Every structure is written in structure tokens, then in C-alpha cells.
Structure 1
Amino acid sequence: MASSANSNTTDEYQNILMMRHGDRIDKINPLWLDTASRPWDPPLVQDGLVRAFQTGQRIRSQIQFPIHRVFVSPFIRCVQTASEVIAALSAVDLNPNATSSKDVISIDKSKLKVSIEFGLSEMLNSMAIMPEVAPKDGKFDFKISDLEAMFPEGMVDHDVDPVYKEMPEWGETVEECTERFLGLVKTLADKYPSENLLLVTHGKQGILGSVIVLYTHTF
């Protein structure tokens, strides 16, 4: 799991962190694909959930600025990752030796807000998603209400107007995907200039294609 952030931690600047999702089941157990109803949308394995929670704990203890808002790709591996990170960031009381959100007893719901953003989706072409597992009609369907229910109660911001109102088209080029991510990072930074953001996304173009333009804005 990777993350990047502006190294300046004073209150003068906006900070943006980008995080890749945790360990997905199809990379650990390829046989999962044989019976999966949504083979293009693999969830995390247990180790991935634990790693995500621990990453949230490290962010909380090591960075010197608060996270105000989280934006998440709609793929379930990213939603699960974000849910664990948010639980770690917002925990008020938790069991000793906590390793996941299940160990959190209570959270501070005022800590941050979360929203699903289609623009943070995986690169939608055969380089990132094998054609044999991609939807035959090229349409990636998500039930947003079910995904939002995976976050701690009260933390979803239903008033947010997403930058991308629907999924990108299947068959986008690497250049188009890179442009999508770079434009999205800038748009979100400009839209919330006084807030520090965490973007939970995918590794190929999500982080690698965007890290060179993590924008720093003066309030």
C-alpha cells in the first residue's frame, strides 16, 4: 500500500495524500475468479483489511496535519481500504492490540467526511483489467448505497457533488486515464482549498500517474 503527500506540514498549505488499496483476493487466490459473480471487482483479503487499518494508524501518528475529507474509488477493494483507514483515523476508544475496524469501540464522527468519486476508478482498459473478467457490455455497475453503508455511520457526505457523475468509458487509453487523474486531483484541491484530502485509489495510473502533480495550494 503506497501513499504520497506534500512534505510541508504547516497550516499554510493544503496537503493531499494518495493511497493504493490493500491486498486483493484474486492476487492471493486466483481460483476466486472461477466462481466470482463480479470478477472485475475483487474484495480485500483479511491481511489487506489489517494492513489498511494499520496504515490509518500510521497516518494518524506520523503526519502532523489532520485529514478533513476522503474520496474513494467505487471498487470494493478501495471502499474497504478507506473504511478501515477512516476507522483508524477517527477512533476514540479501541481494544488493546487493535488490528482492524472491528476492534474500534467508538469513533469521532466529526473527524472527517467521505465520498465516493467515480473519477478515482481503476484504469478502464485491458492493461488493468483482463478482458475475460471485465463486464461483457463494458459497463461497471456499483450500488452506491451499499458501498456507503460500509463506512462508519454519519461520515458519508451526501451533499458532495462528485467531479465524475458516472464511470469513465471502458477502453480509455493510458494517456486519457492519466489526464483523468491529474485533472481530478487539481479539481478536488481547488474545490476544497482549506481542507487536507486523502484519495484512495488504484496503483497503476491512480498513484503512479498522479504523484508528480500533487498540488500544493496556499489558503
Structure 2
Amino acid sequence: MSQIVWMARHANRLDFVNPDWFLTAERRYDPPLSDDGMVQAQQLAKRLAKENIAHIFVSPFLRTVQTAYAVAQVLDLPIKLETGLSEWLNPDWMTEEPERLSIQALAELFPKIDISYTPRIAAKYPETREKMWERSGQTARCLAAEFFPKNILLVGHGASVLGGTIGLVGETAKMEVKASLCSLVKVVLHGPEWLLELKGDTSHLSQVEEVIRFA
């Protein structure tokens, strides 16, 4: 039997478009999508509409939830909040542990969130790059195994999409995957081996970033 693990990075974020947003934001490390990011999320949803995806797992940051919600509405699936897919909790980027909306607050905003789901893997601030790759790779392996043979979608960040891919296909992914905004990675299980079929596809997007920022 085979299985497909799709991985998508969130769409464009408001502080990439308006850096001054960060200066007065209540949760400065948890920006929402920008207006063009919302368009990208809809384009991602349209791209995945005909794929046989059974489960959606998403990082609990607002921008990833917004991206996943667009897909969930098209696929009519619940969203499972998985902390193992979180942003790289890099102290060089964040001076303190990032404050996020609570699960209850997110569920009120996004009714398709499955509040009964318990995250499988924790993410703890601060963490090194190696620790981030380890926990996001572990998350991808754990979810793929637990929900086998169903096809699943993981919605995360540039770093956690790359880490999840490394966790399945190995170190070669570091040189192959380009996880730009709202891009898609597709990893397929053939027998005992995971094969990388899409390495950061953006063909579904009308606007693509030129410089990849992993955040």
C-alpha cells in the first residue's frame, strides 16, 4: 500500500508586507496572513481540492491556521492543531517564547478546528536548528505512521516543512526542497521508501516570492 504526505508552507504574512505591524502588535511573533496571502491560501485550496486527503494537521500559529482553514473549507475536513509543526523557536528571531491565541480562541475563529485532538509532539522555546529539524521530522514520521495508509496534509513553516521532509526522505532534502511561501512538497511512500515528488511547487500561485525567508 502507498501513502502520500503533502506539506505546505503558510501563505504570505502581514509583517512581510508591512514590517511596522511588528512594532505595535499584541502578539508580534504570531502575525496573520496579508491580503495577498489570503489569495494564496485560496489558490492552494483549489490546487488540493481533488487530492484524496483524509486529515489536515497544522502548526498552531495564526498564519498557518488561516492557510489550512482555506483548504479545510474546500475539502470539508477538520483541522488538527499539531505543535510539532510549529515555527522554529529560534531565540535569534524571538526575544521570548511567542505568544499565540489559545486553542479555544482559535476554535471560535475557525470552527473546523478539532478541539478533541491532542498534539503528538511538543515544541519548546528556545531551540536550535538541529532540535527543530528533529522534532518536525519526528512529527512527520509519527503522523504518517499513525494515520497510515491515509493521505495527510501538514501545514507548517519554511523550517518545519523542510524538517518534516528530512524526517521522511533523509538529509538529501536539505539540498532539494525550496519551501517558499504557500509552496507544496509531496512525499510518496513506495514500499518501504519515501520518495520526494514535489520539492516546493508553486505552480498553483499567481504571485511567488523571489527571496525565500524561512519564518
Tell me if TM exceeds 0.5.
yes
Name the CA distance, whole Å, in 1 between partners of 2:101 and 2:109. Answer: 13
Q: Are 1:73 and 1:117, in contact at CA under 8 Å, matched by a contact in 2?
A: yes
Give 1:139 shift: 5.7
| DSSP-derived class of the 1:15 partner | strand
Equivalent of 1:74, from 56, 60, 73?
60
Equivalent of 1:157, from 93, 104, 114?
114
Aligned to 2:203: none
Give 1:215 shift: 6.4
Query: In the alignment, is residue 216 of structure 1 matched against residue 205 of structure 2?
Result: no
| DSSP-derived class of the 2:189 partner | coil
Aligned to 1:36: 25
Q: Are 1:80 and 1:150, in contact at CA under 8 Å, matched by a contact in 2?
A: no
| DSSP-derived class of the 2:49 partner | helix
Counterpart amino acid of 1:44?
Answer: L
Aligned to 1:118: 83
Per-residue CA deviation, residues 158-186 of structure 1 (Å, 9 max, x unaligned), is 4333203x5x2222111111000111101
Equivalent of 1:189, from 135, 144, 154?
144
- Normalising by structure 2, what TM-score? 0.73
Matches within 5 A, 1:194-213: 194-203=149-158, 205-212=159-166, 213=168
Aligned to 1:52: 41
Query: In the alignment, is residue 147 of structure 1 matched against residue 106 of structure 2?
Result: yes
Per-residue CA deviation, residues 104-125 of structure 1 (Å, 9 max, x unaligned), is xxxxxxxx23210111110001
Tell me how many residue pairs correspond in the alignment.
173
Give 1:141 shift: 4.3
Equivalent of 1:179, from 134, 156, 161?
134
Sequence identity percentage: 38
Aligned to 2:212: none
| DSSP-derived class of the 1:68 partner | strand
Q: Are 2:5 and 2:151, in contact at CA under 8 Å, matched by a contact in 1?
A: yes
Give 1:60 shift: 1.5
Q: Are 1:79 and 1:150, in contact at CA under 8 Å, matched by a contact in 2?
A: no
Per-residue CA deviation, residues 76-118 of structure 1 (Å, 9 max, x unaligned), is 000111111212333xxxxxxxxxxxxxxxxxxxxx2321011
Name the CA distance, whole Å, in 2 between partners of 1:176 and 1:45. Answer: 29
Give 1:36 shift: 0.7
Name the CA distance, whole Å, in 1 between partners of 2:99 and 2:150. Answer: 31
The 1:145–1:217 alpha-carbon spacing in structure 2 relative to 1, beyond 3 Å, is farther
Aligned to 1:27: 16
- Normalising by structure 1, what TM-score? 0.72
Name the CA distance, whole Å, in 1 between partners of 2:91 and 2:162. Answer: 18
| DSSP-derived class of the 1:210 partner | helix
Give 1:156 shift: 3.2
Name the CA distance, whole Å, in 1 between partners of 2:103 and 2:120. Answer: 15
Aligned to 2:208: none
Gaps of 5+ in 1: 1-11, 91-111
Counterpart amino acid of 1:163?
Answer: R
Q: Are 2:56 and 2:80, in contact at CA under 8 Å, matched by a contact in 1?
A: yes
